[in-house]
């Protein structure tokens, strides 16, 4: 399986990192080795002094597809979740400044947290999902999929022009404002529509 991630999909987050508003979705991949195994902590990697959390809505692909039309995109995912796109911000800033790929900062072991999945039939429409994440009990990110620049079905149409989507692939749909650093012993908890989908400790 592969993890397809979208960058810069919420205006408020683009502004907080002083990034340019993209003309097309920003896309990058994480390998399956980036997944944090269930009930395991997140270990801060030794090559970074500034690892940030980014909470994101996830969709899980359940049909193989390429060149998917936006109007049919909803048939290609059955479950929606919430996860964290961990980012070594210091390393990413260095790579970005040189125009180099971000993988070392975004695709390292443990850089992808995937919470529990919810069948999409149990949730409101995918473009109207409220979600939030707390750090040590204080809410640090809170938003709605209604604020995405590119909505889920548009993203599926877009990325499937480049990558064949396969069963089990996961799309990380981008983070809203409020990203920030993690430290040892932090606890991050994410909820989608009031359901807690992950709780992870930082080590």
Residue numbers at the binding site for Zn ion (CB under 5 A): 54, 85, 175
CB of 69 to Zn ion, least distance (A): 26
CB of 121 to Zn ion, least distance (A): 26
Position closest to Zn ion via CB: 85
Q: Which is nearer to Zn ion, 25 or 65 (CB)?
A: 25
Q: Which is nearer to Zn ion, 65 or 169 (CB)?
A: 169
CB of 182 to Zn ion, least distance (A): 14
Q: Which is nearer to Zn ion, 54 or 189 (CB)?
A: 54
Q: Which is nearer to Zn ion, 8 or 120 (CB)?
A: 8
CB of 71 to Zn ion, least distance (A): 27
Q: Which is nearer to Zn ion, 65 or 110 (CB)?
A: 110
Buried b (16+ CB within 10 A) or exposed e, 10-43: beebbeebeeeeeeebbbbbbeeebbbeeeeebe
CB of 6 to Zn ion, least distance (A): 7
């Amino acid at each position: 399986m592969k993890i397809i991630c979208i960058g810069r999909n919420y205006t408020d987050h683009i502004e907080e990192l002083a990034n340019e508003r993209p003309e097309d979705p920003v896309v990058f991949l994480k390998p399956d080795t980036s997944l944090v195994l269930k009930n395991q902590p997140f270990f801060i990697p030794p090559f970074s002094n500034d690892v940030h959390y980014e909470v994101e809505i996830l969709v899980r692909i359940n049909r193989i597809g390429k060149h998917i039309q936006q109007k049919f995109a909803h048939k290609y995912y059955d479950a929606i979740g919430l996860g964290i796109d961990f980012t070594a911000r210091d390393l990413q800033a260095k790579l970005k400044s040189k125009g180099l790929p971000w993988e070392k900062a975004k695709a390292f072991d443990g850089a992808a947290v995937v919470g529990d999945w919810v069948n999409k039939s149990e949730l409101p429409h995918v473009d109207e999902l409220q979600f939030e994440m707390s750090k040590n009990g204080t809410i640090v990110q809170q938003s709605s999929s209604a604020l995405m620049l590119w909505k889920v079905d548009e993203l599926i149409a877009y990325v499937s022009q480049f990558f064949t989507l396969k069963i089990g692939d996961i799309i990380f749909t981008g983070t809203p404002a409020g990203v920030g650093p993690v430290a040892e012993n932090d606890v991050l908890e994410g909820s989608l529509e009031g359901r807690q989908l992950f709780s992870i400790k930082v080590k």
